[in-house]
Amino acid sequence: MMAAEREPGAGTAFTLELYAAPGTPLSRVRDLERAIEDYAEVHDLEMSGTQLRFLVQALGRPTTAEDQVALLDWLVDRPGLRRVRVGALRRAAAGQVGYLQVASGDMAVIGVTLLYRLGRLKVEQYLQILGGFVRADVH
């Protein structure tokens, strides 16, 4: 791939926050971080950030809801995660606008994941059934 094609896409991105299950060994967390980096490389995504907190952008194209759902769908099968929080698509320079949170072991996630993998749900339906994007924490 040429250098220009490896540049982050047209200004859209989303955040990804991962929470390890209590008692997860540090070695498993490191393995998870490496697996995420490998996933990003295979799917032409740039993931910047540290320690299970990332800003995700597609390389050479706009970042889409399909990118969000594909990554979320992949993450639900990773051992050692207690919770995954995916931010809404936004301009890369904008602040957090909302998020979708998924807890491991949530029965709704199992059903939605199976329906999505069988092609019975569209990306938008997947996100909506899991609760859609709620506003960032405000008190």
CATH code of residue 81 = 3.30.70.260
Angle between helix axes 107-117 and 65-75 (nearest 10 degrees) is 120
- Greater pLDDT, 56 or 91: 56
Average pLDDT over residues 10-25: 89
Domain count, the chain: 1
Q: How far is CA 62 from the centre of its chain?
A: 15
Take residue 38 and report the two structure tokens written for it: 């490998």
pLDDT at residue number 10: 57
SS3 5: helix
- Greater pLDDT, 78 or 2: 78
Q: Is residue 14 part of a domain?
A: yes
pLDDT band at 17 (very low <50, low <70, confident <90, very high): very high
- Greater pLDDT, 134 or 65: 65
pLDDT at 108 over 90: no
Q: Is residue 99 part of a domain?
A: yes
pLDDT at residue number 62: 92
CA 110 to CA 108: how far, in whole Å? 5
pLDDT at residue number 93: 58
CA 57 to CA 81: how far, in whole Å? 22
Average pLDDT over residues 62-89: 91
Q: Is residue 137 part of a domain?
A: no
Q: Is residue 138 part of a domain?
A: no
| CB proximity list for 51: less than 8 A, separation 6 or greater | none
- Structural domain harbouring 42: 3-129
Closest CA relative to residue 86, chosen from 64, 101, 96: 101
Q: Is residue 65 part of a domain?
A: yes
pLDDT at residue number 1: 45
Average pLDDT, the chain: 84
**CA 65, 70, 75 angle in degrees (round to 5)?**
125
Are 81 and 21 a contacting pair, CB within 8 Å?
A: yes
Are 53 and 84 a contacting pair, CB within 8 Å?
A: no
pLDDT at residue number 77: 85
pLDDT at residue number 78: 87
pLDDT at residue number 139: 39
Q: Is residue 134 part of a domain?
A: no
pLDDT at 136 over 60: no
